[in-house]
């Protein structure tokens, strides 16, 4: 068949479409296969030697369990949640709500945001090195929980700030204007109306930030050191955590330690999965909420998400997770 106009022939176009479809599916398979292999591999390696006592026995020089390492990772996550959560959410509020109104800070908002982005892309090992020089050596804190917490928090604050800012920007202007029209002061309206409706997005961002924090290794080696047991002080005591076990024990001479390394990898993956699934639950619950509460006039200041412009994309995506 000859085509009437100049251009590629029908056969070529047909072939190019088939090739294109095959290539896109192939790309998907090439991503999914290693991802599935990775998850199954981690599970399989740990499962063949799994003993539950790993969860509640202490690490010894020859083997034992990972109780204090698990607790240490959880403590780090709680600390990061408190420090980075507070500062990050407030910073996000500033970037989303206060930068346009204030003329002086409005001029600053561009550079502030750029600097925040730079910090979020800053290599974690460099931050770890700075933590080592400034906190561990400079302030004589030694390898310790406090140094590790501060460096980890600095790492994830820009991420929390960004997700908070984005979810605050998704709140329609009408809500703010409505609050103001009802005579609320700006601060009261912010707390009761704007923050409340942005809360699911903020919470999701926090959960994902915790997933980053619990999987970090490089900066912790420089700031927390490592120990077999939990210390009793914030400073001057090396601190246990799971990622170090994965990183160091897999090429240890003792087979017992290899198993601990695989176990630690599995526990880390389980923690991350729990965080991701709970962030998903937050999203889906609020979406269901929006459907059931649509049209209920009495709940204007409840958790309202009936605005159709607030698509599921309003919540941050795990794909934005920094990996380094």
Partner 1 sequence: MASVGGAAGRVPATPHAEYVGKPPAPRRVADFLRRNEEHAWRGTAWIAVVLPLAALAFAVSVLAVKAWPAIRVNGWYFLYGRTWTDGIGAYGATVHTDGVAHLQGAKFGAWAIIWGTVVSSLIAIVIAVPLSIGAAFALTERLPSWISRPLGFTIEILAGIPSVVIGLWGILTFGPWLAKNVYPAIADHMPNVPILKYFRNPVGGGEGLLSAGIVLALMIVPIIASTTRDLFQQVPPLPKEGASALGMTDWEVASKVTLPWVRSGIIGATVLGLGRALGETIAVAMIGGAILHIPPTVYLPFTTVAATILTQLDGALTDGTGFAVATLAELALVLAVISVGVNLLARLIINRTGRVGAPVGGA
HEC assignment per residue over the chain: CCCCCCCCCHHHHHHHHHHHHHHHHHHHHHHHHHHHHHHHHHHHHHHCCCCHHHHCCCEECCEECCHHHHHHHHHHHHHHHHHHHHHHHHHHHHHHHHCCCCHHHHHHHHHHHHHHHHHHCCCHHHHHHHHHHHHHHHCCCCCCHHHHHHHHHHHHHHHHHHHHHHHHHCCCHHHHHHHHHCCCCHHHHHHHHHHHHHHHHHHHHHHHHHHHHHHCCHHHHHHCCCCCCCCCCCCCCCCCCHHHHHHHHCCCCCHHHHHHHHHHHHHHHHHHHHHHHHHHHHHHHHHHHHHHCCCCHHHCCCCCCCCCCCCHHHCCCHHHCCCC
Q: Which of 54, 190, 202, 260 binds partner 1 (CB under 8 A)?
A: 190
Q: Which is nearer to partner 1, 233 or 299 (CB)?
A: 299
* The one segment of 49-57, 224-232, 290-298, 316-324 that binds partner 1 by CB under 8 A: 316-324
Beta carbon of residue 232, minimum distance to partner 1 (angstroms, whole number): 26
Do residues 222 and 131 lie in contact, with contact meaning Cβ atoms separated by under 8 Å?
yes
Q: Which is nearer to partner 1, 10 or 53 (CB)?
A: 10
Q: Binding to partner 1 (CB under 8 A): which residues in 147-176? A: 154, 157-158, 161, 165-166, 169
182 scored as a contact of partner 1 (CB under 8 A): yes
Instruction: Please tell me the distance from the alpha carbon of residue 247 to that of residue 222, in angstroms, as a whole number.
Output: 14
255 scored as a contact of partner 1 (CB under 8 A): no
* The one segment of 50-58, 63-71, 74-82, 183-191 that binds partner 1 by CB under 8 A: 183-191
Q: Which is nearer to partner 1, 16 or 53 (CB)?
A: 16
Q: Which is nearer to partner 1, 36 or 82 (CB)?
A: 36
Q: Binding to partner 1 (CB under 8 A): which residues in 26-65? A: 26-28, 30-32, 34-39, 41-42, 45
Number of residues that bind partner 1 (CB under 8 A): 108
223 scored as a contact of partner 1 (CB under 8 A): no
Q: Binding to partner 1 (CB under 8 A): which residues in 263-282? A: 265, 268-269, 272-273, 275-276, 280
Q: Binding to partner 1 (CB under 8 A): which residues in 285-304? A: none
Per-residue mark of binding to partner 1, 227-246 (x: CB under 8 A): ----------------x--x
Q: Which of 72, 200, 215, 240 binds partner 1 (CB under 8 A)?
A: 215
Do residues 196 and 211 lie in contact, with contact meaning Cβ atoms separated by under 8 Å?
no
Q: Binding to partner 1 (CB under 8 A): which residues in 60-79? A: none
Q: Which of 125, 199, 230, 234 binds partner 1 (CB under 8 A)?
A: 125
Q: Which is nearer to partner 1, 137 or 233 (CB)?
A: 137
């Amino acid at each position: 068949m000859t085509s009437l106009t100049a251009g590629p022939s029908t056969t070529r176009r047909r072939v190019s479409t088939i090739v294109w479809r095959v290539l896109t599916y192939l790309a998907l398979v090439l991503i999914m296969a290693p991802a599935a292999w990775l998850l199954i591999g981690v599970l399989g390696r740990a499962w063949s030697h799994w003993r539950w006592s790993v969860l509640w026995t202490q690490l010894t020089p020859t083997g034992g369990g990972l109780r204090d390492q698990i607790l240490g990772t959880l403590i780090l996550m709680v600390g990061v949640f408190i420090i980075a959560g507070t500062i990050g959410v407030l910073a996000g509020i500033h970037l989303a709500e206060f930068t346009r109104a204030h003329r002086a800070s409005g001029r600053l908002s561009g550079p502030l945001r750029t600097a925040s982005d730079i910090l979020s892309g800053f290599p974690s090992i460099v931050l770890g090195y700075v933590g080592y020089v400034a906190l561990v050596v400079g302030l004589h804190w030694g390898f310790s929980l406090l140094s590790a917490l501060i460096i980890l928090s600095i790492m994830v604050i820009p991420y929390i700030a960004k997700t908070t800012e984005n979810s605050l920007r998704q709140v329609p202007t009408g809500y703010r204007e409505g609050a103001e029209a009802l005579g609320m002061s700006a601060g009261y309206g912010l707390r009761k109306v704007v923050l409340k409706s942005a809360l699911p997005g903020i919470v999701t961002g926090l959960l994902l930030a915790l997933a980053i924090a619990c999987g970090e290794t490089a900066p912790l080696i420089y700031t927390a050191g490592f120990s077999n047991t939990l210390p009793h002080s914030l400073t001057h005591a090396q601190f246990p955590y799971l990622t170090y076990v994965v990183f160091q024990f897999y090429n240890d001479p003792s087979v017992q330690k290899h198993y601990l390394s695989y176990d630690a990898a599995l526990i880390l993956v389980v923690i991350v999965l729990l965080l991701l699934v709970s962030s998903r639950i937050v999203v889906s619950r609020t979406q269901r909420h929006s459907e059931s509460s649509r049209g209920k006039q009495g709940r204007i200041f409840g958790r309202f998400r009936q605005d159709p412009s607030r698509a599921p994309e309003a919540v941050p995506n795990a794909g934005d997770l920094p990996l380094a």
